[in-house]
């Protein structure tokens, strides 16, 4: 086991290789328990969520047809924002993880699902399921660590661009769905050279994204506004607001998953030859939960159980809450830190880290004074 070993206070120094494999075995047992009891109750749950979400969306959009009237605007916008959040989080994200594939329902299946988001599901599944979930928090491998534009760990090299990262992060939050699409396209890397720009595969994917964005925008900013007749502009504003609210919310929740203080990151070479137990351990230490009410968990798509989700990304989301106590008990048994906190605390923690790391590690006013030639001259 080489993960984390270099840290001064190595959080797993007390674990023997046998302990780690035992953790794997115990987690496998928790997983198997859920699989053995997975059934009609779970199927009913996801179908009910989907039905409720669609009813809410239809209802909200119907109300927005008369968004000229302020109460209708407010009710419709709130409803649509919630509908969009549920669609992306509890439904889209989880369905695309294959959490419901066991139902063998082609309408609720990871290979057929398309979500209300700028990024086409196929591209998102690649960058999220294959890269992020496999290489969770491995610096240089998991692009979710700062999305390639931010520095969220001391071990990531500082460059002057990072000075602006509080602003980048805020902009990314507002337009998160486009951020995700650009990220799934690896836009930064693929626009860098003419060869990459011309790569037919990249072009095909870019075209796919543009087509998706065009359809999404036509729906929200053309069709529904036109259907609203005199409420045209009000409906545009309502739909824009709903997308903004959804973006800000999902961004905050996702930031809480891996950025707050206390979450560990890993070196690239530390995962070479990783065993299943070690992989589990990396997920345990690389994720953070959000505490709160059932309604809050639902609105985060149960990503508030980020630890459980990362351990078992393909178990139905409605079961995370159920297994959380068992997982927590395992953390306690092996003396590991189960990072969790209320949403405002975790969001605050993540933001503090982003602001702090926008400056170099050794940055301090004193160091700055020492380094600048003018101050030396003055001294």
Partner 1 sequence: MTTTVGRPGTLAATLADTEAFTDSAVNGADTAADTAADTAADTAADTAADTAADTAADTAADTAADTAADTAADTAADTAADTAADTAADTAADTAADTAADTAADTAADTAADTAADTAADTAADTAADTAADTAADTAADTAADTAADTAADTAADTAADTAADTAADTAADTAADTAADTAADATRRPTLRLRDRLVRLAELAVTPLLPSDFLDVVDPLLSGADLRGRIEAIEPETADAATITIRPGRGWRGHVPGQYVRIGVDVDGVRQWRAYSVTSPADRSDGRFTITVKAIPDGVVSNHLVREARAGTVIQLDQATGEFVLPTPAPRRLLFVTAGSGITPVMGILRSYAAELADVVVVHSAPSRADVIFGADLAELAADDRITLTTIHTDAEGLLDTERLERLVPDLAERETWACGPTGLLDLLEEHWAARGFADRIHTERFRPTIVVTGEGGRVSFTRSGTTVEADGATPILDAAEAAGVLMPSGCRMGICFGCVLPLREGAVRDLRNGELTTAVPGDGVRIQTCISAAAGACHIDH
The residues that touch partner 1, with contacts defined as CB under 8 A, are 32, 35, 38-44, 51, 54-55, 58, 97-98, 101-105, 107, 109-111, 114-116, 125-126, 129-130, 133-134, 194, 197-198, 207, 210, 212, 214-216, 218-219, 222-224, 226-227, 276, 279, 313-314
Shortest gap between Cβ of 267 and partner 1 (angstroms)? Answer: 19
Which is closer to partner 1, CB of 20 or CB of 354? Answer: 20
Shortest gap between Cβ of 223 and partner 1 (angstroms)? Answer: 5
Residue whose C-alpha is closest to residue 94's, from 296, 303, 245: 303
Shortest gap between Cβ of 320 and partner 1 (angstroms)? Answer: 15
Which is closer to partner 1, CB of 224 or CB of 234? Answer: 224
Which is closer to partner 1, CB of 101 or CB of 155? Answer: 101
**Residue 185 to residue 147: CA distance in whole angstroms:** 12
Residue count of the chain, please give it: 379
φ, ψ at 263 (rounded to 5°): -85, 135
Which is closer to partner 1, CB of 52 or CB of 372? Answer: 52
Which is closer to partner 1, CB of 100 or CB of 168? Answer: 100
Shortest gap between Cβ of 126 and partner 1 (angstroms)? Answer: 7
Which is closer to partner 1, CB of 103 or CB of 285? Answer: 103
Q: What angle do CA 324, 330, 334 make, to 5 degrees?
A: 150
Q: H/E element holding 285?
A: helix 276-285
Within 8 A by CB and 6+ apart from 335, the residues are 14
Shortest gap between Cβ of 171 and partner 1 (angstroms)? Answer: 23
CA–CA distances in Å: residue 371 to residues 160, 270, 361, 364, 375:
16, 35, 15, 11, 8
Which is closer to partner 1, CB of 218 or CB of 372? Answer: 218
Q: Kindly state the greatest CA–CA separation across the chain.
A: 77
CA–CA distances in Å: residue 76 to residues 44, 56, 205, 251:
27, 9, 34, 22
**SS3 category, 291:** strand
241-258 burial code (b ≥16 CB/10 A, e <16): bbbebbbbbbbbbbbbbb
Shortest gap between Cβ of 155 and partner 1 (angstroms)? Answer: 24
Which is closer to partner 1, CB of 58 or CB of 342? Answer: 58
Shortest gap between Cβ of 62 and partner 1 (angstroms)? Answer: 11
Measured in whole angstroms, the distance separating CA 270 from the mean position of its chain's CA atoms is: 23
**Residue 129 to residue 131: CA distance in whole angstroms:** 6
**Residue 214 to residue 203: CA distance in whole angstroms:** 16
Which is closer to partner 1, CB of 145 or CB of 150? Answer: 145
Query: Considering Cα of 110, then 116, then 117, then 119, what sign does the dihedral take?
Result: positive
CA–CA distances in Å: residue 124 to residues 96, 167, 182, 206, 286:
9, 24, 10, 13, 21
Shortest gap between Cβ of 360 and partner 1 (angstroms)? Answer: 29
Shortest gap between Cβ of 23 and partner 1 (angstroms)? Answer: 16
């Amino acid at each position: 086991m080489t993960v984390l070993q270099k840290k001064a206070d190595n959080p797993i120094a007390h674990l023997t290789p046998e302990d780690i494999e035992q953790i794997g075995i115990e987690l496998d047992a928790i997983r198997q328990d859920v699989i053995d009891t997975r059934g009609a109750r779970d199927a009913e749950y996801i179908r009910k969520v989907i039905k409720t979400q669609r009813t809410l969306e239809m209802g909200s959009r119907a109300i927005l047809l008369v968004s000229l009237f302020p109460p209708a605007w407010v009710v419709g916008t709130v409803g649509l924002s919630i509908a969009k959040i549920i669609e992306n989080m509890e439904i889209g994200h989880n369905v695309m993880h294959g959490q419901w594939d066991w139902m063998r329902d082609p309408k609720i299946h990871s290979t057929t699902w398309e979500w209300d988001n700028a990024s086409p599901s196929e591209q998102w599944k690649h960058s999220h399921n294959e890269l992020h979930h496999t290489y969770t928090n491995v610096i240089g491998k998991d692009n979710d660590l700062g999305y390639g534009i931010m520095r969220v760990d001391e071990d990531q090299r500082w460059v002057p661009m990072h000075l602006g990262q509080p602003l980048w992060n805020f902009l990314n939050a507002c337009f998160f769905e486009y951020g995700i699409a650009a990220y799934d396209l690896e836009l930064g890397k693929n626009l860098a050279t003419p060869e990459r720009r011309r790569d037919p595969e990249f072009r095909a994917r870019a075209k796919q994204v543009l087509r998706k964005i065009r359809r999404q925008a036509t729906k929200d900013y053309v069709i529904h506004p036109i259907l609203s007749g005199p409420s045209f502009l009000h409906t545009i504003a309502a739909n824009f607001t709903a997308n903004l609210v959804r973006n800000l919310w999902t961004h905050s929740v996702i930031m809480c998953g891996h950025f707050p203080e206390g979450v560990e990151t890993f070196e690239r070479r530390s995962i070479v030859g990783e065993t299943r137990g070690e992989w589990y351990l990396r997920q345990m230490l690389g994720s953070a939960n959000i505490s709160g009410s059932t309604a809050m968990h639902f609105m985060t798509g149960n990503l508030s159980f980020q630890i459980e989700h990362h351990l078992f990304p393909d178990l139905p989301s409605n079961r995370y809450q159920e297994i959380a106590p068992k997982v927590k008990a395992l953390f306690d048994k092996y003396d590991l830190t189960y990072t969790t906190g209320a949403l405002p605390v975790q969001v605050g923690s993540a933001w503090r880290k982003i602001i702090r790391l926008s400056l170099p590690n050794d940055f301090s006013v004193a160091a700055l004074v020492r380094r600048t030639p003018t101050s030396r001259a003055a001294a």
